[in-house]
């Protein structure tokens, strides 16, 4: 299959699990198409055509034309120059790698990470936090993230991929939407007597079990095993990166008792203590791996010859027979 076909399918699959819903995403894309049509001069030159069909600014092909025929993916959660060199060494030793699948954004997807963060308003909306209550504190957080990334050396990975001739693409919010939806359905919707039961249920998921055996299990970072969970949400699984710490209080007011997160910041933890919200830090790499696996399951149905080589925190666990 062509790289661009894989990538377009990945975006469609990401939309199918988007907390905003397909209709709203389609409306946003139409608005962007209309906006770009009216641009002139420098603004037109710099317009990102990708934004007219792909709603995930942190996911795109970062090296290659998209016309490449690919089916042997090296898949990793963090891919930087060292992993590209690893790919090159492995290729020298006879491994077939014709494309690199990166989870955490690099290059332009990293530069544009802030643009996906507004999804967090919809994630909180699903919990019952009014849109305005989420939007106000989120704005300054997006600005902070954008400013800090803006100063980074953004394009090293894509240059390494270009020099060593590896087509490469990032899929970030695309797969985080999938793991968000999965955790909401398989964990949050169930009833538990105590928080310990949540941990045990998480450990029934093979990626968490795999990481737990290696010493990196899901942990309760606020609360304890005997504590009652109340309403459980997976509000820190998608939306680019962590939201502002004010979100903890908003969720507490909306009736949330336990937040499942991939990674909890110190400031969020302080707020969780203040507002008596339990927090479970699900293993970050295991959580990201679930989202990638769910996408690969779908892609492998469409391209049966698709193979994967796991690196950098990723472990392939197929859910399809």
Q: Which two tokens stand for residue 292?
A: 């990638």
Q: Nearer to Fe ion by C-beta: 105 or 229?
A: 105
- The yes or no reply on residue 207 touching Fe ion (CB under 5 A) is no
For 203, phi then psi, to 5°, come to -70, -10
Residues 26, 29, 35, 38, Cα dihedral to 10°: -90
Please give the size of the binding site for Fe ion, defined by CB under 5 A. Answer: 2
Identify the H or E element spanning 210. helix 206-213
The two counts, helices (H) then strands (E), for the chain are: 14, 9
- The yes or no reply on residue 58 touching Fe ion (CB under 5 A) is no
Q: What number of other Cβ atoms are within 10 A of residue 282's Cβ?
A: 28
Site stretch for Fe ion (CB under 5 A), options 28-36, 153-161, 174-182, 269-277: 174-182
Q: Nearer to Fe ion by C-beta: 163 or 219?
A: 219
Letters for 132-171 (x = contact with Fe ion by CB under 5 A, - = none) are ----------------------------------------
At which residue do the structure tokens 């005997």 appear?
A: 226
Residues in the chain: 321
Cα gap 91→11, rounded to integer Å: 28
| Among 114, 236, 288, 311, contact with Fe ion (rule: CB under 5 A) | 288
Q: Nearer to Fe ion by C-beta: 223 or 291?
A: 291
Shortest Cβ distance from residue 262 to Fe ion (Å)?
6
Q: Nearer to Fe ion by C-beta: 184 or 288?
A: 288
- The yes or no reply on residue 176 touching Fe ion (CB under 5 A) is yes
Closest CA to 74 of 163, 157, 167, 176: 167
Q: Nearer to Fe ion by C-beta: 106 or 176?
A: 176
Binding stretches for Fe ion (CB under 5 A): 176, 288
């Amino acid at each position: 299959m062509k790289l661009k076909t894989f990538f377009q399918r990945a975006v469609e699959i990401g939309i199918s699990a988007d907390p905003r819903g397909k209709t709203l995403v389609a409306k946003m894309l139409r608005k962007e198409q209309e906006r770009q049509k009216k641009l002139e001069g420098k603004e037109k030159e710099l317009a990102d055509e990708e934004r007219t069909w792909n709603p995930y600014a942190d996911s795109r092909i970062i090296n290659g034309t998209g016309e490449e025929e690919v089916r042997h993916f090296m898949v990793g959660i963090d891919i930087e120059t060292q992993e590209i060199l690893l790919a090159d060494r492995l290729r020298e030793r006879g491994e077939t790698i014709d494309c690199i699948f990166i989870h955490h954004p690099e290059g332009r997807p990293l530069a544009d990470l802030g643009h996906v963060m507004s999804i967090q308003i919809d994630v909180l909306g699903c919990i019952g936090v009014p849109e305005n209550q989420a939007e106000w504190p989120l704005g300054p957080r997006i600005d902070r993230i954008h400013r800090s990334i803006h100063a980074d050396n953004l394009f090293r990975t894509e240059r390494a991929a270009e020099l060593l001739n590896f087509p490469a693409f990032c899929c970030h919010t695309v797969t985080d939407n999938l793991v968000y939806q999965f955790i909401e359905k398989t964990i949050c919707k169930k009833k538990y007597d105590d928080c310990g039961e949540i941990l045990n249920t998480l450990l029934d998921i093979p990626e968490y079990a795999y990481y737990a055996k290696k010493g990196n299990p899901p942990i309760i970072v606020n609360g304890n095993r005997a504590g009652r969970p109340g309403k459980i949400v997976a509000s820190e699984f998608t939306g680019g990166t962590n939201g502002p710490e004010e979100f903890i209080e908003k969720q507490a007011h909306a009736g949330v008792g336990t937040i499942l997160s991939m990674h909890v910041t110190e400031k969020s933890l302080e707020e969780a203590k203040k507002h008596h919200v339990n927090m479970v830090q699900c293993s970050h790499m295991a959580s990201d791996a679930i989202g990638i696996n769910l996408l690969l399951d779908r892609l492998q149905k469409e391209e049966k010859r698709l193979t994967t080589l796991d690196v950098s925190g990723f472990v392939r666990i197929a859910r399809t027979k």
